[in-house]
Amino acid sequence: MEHYDVVIVGSGHGGAQAAIALRQNGHEGSILMVSRDRNPPYERPPLSKEYLAGDKPFERIQIRPEQFWADKDVELRLGRNVNEVDPIAHELGLSDDTRVTYRKLIWAAGGDARRLSCPGCDLGGIHYIRSRRDVDALKEELGSGGKRAVIIGAGYIGLEAAAVLRKLDCQVTVVEMLDRVLARVAGPDLSDFYAAYHREQGVDLRLSTGVETIEGEGGRVTGVLTDSGETIACDIVIAGIGIVSSVGPLIAAGAAGSNGVDVDSYCRTTLDDIYAIGDCAAHANPYADNKVIRLESVQNANDMATCAAKAIMGDKQDYDAVPWFWSNQYDLRLQTVGLSIGHDETVLRGDPAERKFSVIYLREGRVLALDCVNNTKDYVQGRKLVMDRAEIDPDLLADASVPLKEMR
């Protein structure tokens, strides 16, 4: 049985950055990266943006050129699932029936797209957007465009896909169960702006609408029956309804966790020598009042990877990185810093009609987070306000003629 000093499970943002950070921090031992994905590490955000639109080829979304991994002596075993973790023997069982042992394990397995469970959910023509393979299959069906698509879920991925499909001249209906878009991640001001903008771009947006059944014929989808009794005819369905974190083998091995796997401030799980990072890691986040949450962002995956790699190298530093995120839809670039969870007040800064504005989230008068639309200056300057939990008069915050950096 082969032994590795560090085994990394997953080749997404977290896994890739963990290997990079280990080498950057002087790790000289062997590193094995095992991943279910068949491709060398690539970025996921472009999957619902430039890669789906056909504006960037796969080579341009790779996290590093393929040769990099060999040059850094990081062994990749792709197209293999890790099915079993034996935390006592420090041993893993892979789907190709091989076993490997590790000194340290970094679990960076992210999550799988949550599947639809309604009648008709197995029909052909239903798509998810999580991996390159998903998007290649979707692109093939979209062909030269002009299709009728129903997108289920108005979170970031659903809305980004809607924007790309409109560009491809598809007829797009977005069906969202809640009464506003981006409800899980943003305040009502931002939701209203994005809903109006998508409608302006020709998206038929149905809020407060659930899906009853996916209808089909000959094994392929023909429409979506909503809970208002209407069938929306379509050729393609895309579901963007969140993820289920990929932690089964770790939980089966005894790691604490429920929605993800629990980690401490050094990204250690409750099992000896096993770390978990990225989308699957439930942690107490200082920017969420130390509530235990999972963050699904490139920032979080990268920063946790560095935190775990440093801890393995003996340089333990608490994970306290400022959360940030972005989303591109049409000509709108949204940049978010901080977490708006638990806000009790919002301040609108700038004019949404000009498509350049920010929403600032406060709690008890202190700045928690900013959502900045086409407003990189506020995003950059607001970061310090978030880090300091600055207490600033809301009327001053709302005055877009005063730069945020002058408000500290």
The residues, any chain, with a CB within 8 Å of residue 221's CB and separated by 6 or more, are 120, 123, 124, 125, 126, 214, 215, 234, 235, 236, 237
Residue 8 C-beta: closest distance to ligand FAD, Å: 9
Distance CA 158, CA 34 (A): 29
- In terms of Cα–Cα distance, which of 334, 311, 314, 313 is closest to 324? 334
Residue 17 C-beta: closest distance to ligand FAD, Å: 8
Contact of 145 with 168, CB cutoff 8 Å: yes
Q: Which helix (H) or strand (E) holds 94?
A: strand 91-94
- In terms of Cα–Cα distance, which of 363, 366, 346 is closest to 407? 366
Q: Which pair of structure tokens corresponds to residue 218?
A: 């000959």
Residue 391 C-beta: closest distance to ligand FAD, Å: 28
Distance CA 339, CA 285 (A): 10
Nearer to ligand FAD (CB atom), residue 327 or residue 340: 327
Nearer to ligand FAD (CB atom), residue 82 or residue 214: 82
Distance CA 370, CA 324 (A): 10
Distance CA 194, CA 77 (A): 41
Q: CA dihedral defined by 346, 348, 352, 358, rounded to 10 degrees?
A: -90
Distance CA 34, CA 40 (A): 10
Q: Which pair of structure tokens corresponds to residue 176?
A: 């969202």
Residue 246 C-beta: closest distance to ligand FAD, Å: 4
CA-CA distances (angstroms) from residue 165 to 49, 57, 168, 256, 278? 10, 17, 5, 41, 29
Distance of CA 354 to the CA centre of its chain: 28
Residues that bind ligand FAD (CB under 6 A): 9-15, 34-37, 44-45, 47-48, 81-82, 108-110, 129-130, 157, 246, 249, 278-279, 296-299, 301, 325-327
Residue 298 C-beta: closest distance to ligand FAD, Å: 4
Residue 395 C-beta: closest distance to ligand FAD, Å: 32
Nearer to ligand FAD (CB atom), residue 12 or residue 257: 12
Residue 239 C-beta: closest distance to ligand FAD, Å: 12
Nearer to ligand FAD (CB atom), residue 47 or residue 386: 47
Residue 55 C-beta: closest distance to ligand FAD, Å: 15
Q: What is the 3-state secondary structure (H, E, C) of 51-64?
A: HHHCCCCHHHHECC
Distance CA 129, CA 53 (A): 13
DSSP H helical segments within 222-362, as ranges? 248-252, 298-312
Contact of 173 with 151, CB cutoff 8 Å: yes
Residue 135 C-beta: closest distance to ligand FAD, Å: 8
Residue 35 C-beta: closest distance to ligand FAD, Å: 4
CA-CA distances (angstroms) from residue 249 to 35, 253, 260, 377? 14, 6, 12, 44
